[in-house]
Amino acid sequence: MSPSARRVLLIALAGLAVRAALAAALPLGVDEAYYVDWARHLRAGYLDHPPAVAWLVAGPLRLLGSHPLAVRLLPLLLQAATTLLAADLARVRGGDRAALAAALLLQAAPVFSLGAMLATPDAPLAFCWVGALWALDRAARRDPRFFLAAGAFLGLAALSKLTAGLLGLAAMAALVATGRGRRLLATPWPWLGGLLALALAAPMLAWNAARGWPSFAFQASHGARGRSFSTARLLVSLAAQAAYVSPFLFLLAGRAAVRRPPDDDPGFLALSLSGIPVVAFFTLAAAFTPGALPHWPAPGWLSALLLLSVGAGSVAGARAFRIAAGTGLAFSLAALAAFALPLPLHPSPRDELAGWAEAARAARAAAGGARLAATHWMALGQLGWYAGAPVAYVGDRPCAASYYEPDPRRSGEPLLVVAVDGLGPARERLEAALGPLEDAGGTEARDGAHLLRRFRFYRTARAGPSR
C-alpha cells in the first residue's frame, strides 16, 4: 500500500471511529425510527423510498438488538467505503493530493460527515453514486467491462433512492456527447451494464407496478407539487445548502463544478453532469415546492466536491482547500454542538426527539393489553422504537405501513391510540374511522417551561366499521 493510500485509509477509519461513537450515543431521528419499522416488515418497496435502507437496518437490528448503533452500523461502514472510492477516483484524476483532498472533504462537509451517522436512504445512495462514477471512469479509460460494475452500482442506487435516475441520465448523456463515449456505446458492455442495473432494480419496480407506482407518485407529488415560483423558497434552499455543505466549500465546489470538462472524456463529463445540473434541478424544484427539503440536492454536491478535490493539487487550489476544509469542519462541529449539547435554544434541534420514550412508556402502561396505534408516520416510528414492537397505523394519510400491514380497523383488535397534537387527524376524524373513543389519559413533553409536545391517549370502545 502506498503512503498516500495509507493516509486515505487512516482518514476513513478515523472518521468511522468518531461517527460510530456519536452514533452509539445519539438517539434515533424520526426518519430513522420510521425506517426501523420498515425493517420489521421487509418488502421489495415502500411508499416513501425504495427498500435499501430497510434491508441495511434489518440484519444488524436482529443480530445486535435494539440499539442506535445497530441501526446505523451498515450506513456508517458505507460512508467509509464511499470515502475510499471517492479518493481512488480523485487519485486517478488528480494524483495523490487529490485523493487526500477527497477523503478530507467527505469528513469536513456537514452533510456527508454528520449526515453519514444516520440510517437514511442517502447513505447507500452516496456509496452507489460515487461507485457508479468510479466504475464509469474506469470503463471509459481502462476496460469497458467496468460498465458491468457501473450498472451494478446504478441498480443498487435505484434501490436506495429514486434520485439515482438522474445519475443514469448523466452517465448516458456523457456517453452520447463524446466521441469516445459513442464508440463505447457501439460495444455490448454499456448495454449489458444497463441490463444489470435494470435487473437489480427489478424487485422495486415490480413492487411499484403491482400497486400503481405509489413510490413514484409520492415522490412526484412530494417534490413537485408547487405551481408558483417563490424567490423566498429559492433563497432558503440555497442558504440551507450553503450551511450543510459549509459556505466556503459551497462556493469553491460550485465554481469547480462549472469548469469546462476536458474534450472527449465521458468519465469526467459524467462527473460534471451529475454535479451542478442535479443541484440546479432540485433547487429549482424547491423554489416551486412548499416544504421542499434542502438535502435533496446533496448527491450533486457529492460530485461537485469530487471535482473540487481534483483541483486541490495546485498551490492556489491547496490553499483554498485548506480554508474550505477548515470551515467545513467548523460547521460540522457547530451543528453537532447545537444538537448534542443542552444549549438554551428554543426551538432546539433536539425538540423533535423529545418525549417519545416517556410517551411510549406511559402508553404501554395505559394500554391494558391493547395494541398501541399511531396517527402519524413520525409517531409510528418513534413509539414503535421505544415500545420495542411494531405499532398499528390509523392515520388518515397513507404512509409506508399502509402497504405492509393489514388495516387494524378490519381486525377489530383493541387499540390504544396515541394522538400527538399537530400530527395526524383530530379526534373527530379518528372517531369517524374507528368508532367511539374513550379518553385514556396522556402525557406532555416539556423543556422547562416550554411545552414541546402533547400526547393524548384514546382507547377504542369497539371494533371500527368494516371496510
Q: What confidence score (pLDDT) does residue 338 get?
A: 66
Q: If you compute the radius of gyration of the chain from its CA atoms, what whole number of angstroms results?
A: 23
SS3 state at 456: strand
The three three-digit cell numbers of residue 446, written as one number: 416539556
Q: How many CA atoms lie within 13 A of 394 on its CB side?
A: 36
**pLDDT for residue 154 is more than 90:** yes
Name the band, by pLDDT with cuts 50, 70 and 90, for residue 131.
Answer: very high
Q: What confidence score (pLDDT) does residue 367 get?
A: 92
The three three-digit cell numbers of residue 49, written as one number: 423510498
**To which H or E segment does residue 419 belong?**
strand 415-420
Residues contacting 451, CB < 8 A, separation 6+: 444, 445
**pLDDT (tens digit, 9 = 90+) per residue, 86-119?**
999 999 998 999 999 999 999 988 888 888 889 9
**pLDDT for residue 245 is more than 90:** no
Q: Which whole number is the average pLDDT over 238-262?
A: 86
Q: What confidence score (pLDDT) does residue 456 get?
A: 95
Tell me: cis bond preceding 68? Omega within 30 of 0 counts: no
Name the band, by pLDDT with cuts 50, 70 and 90, for residue 428.
Answer: very high
**pLDDT for residue 316 is more than 60:** no
Q: CA nearest 266: which of 391, 127, 143, 170?
A: 170
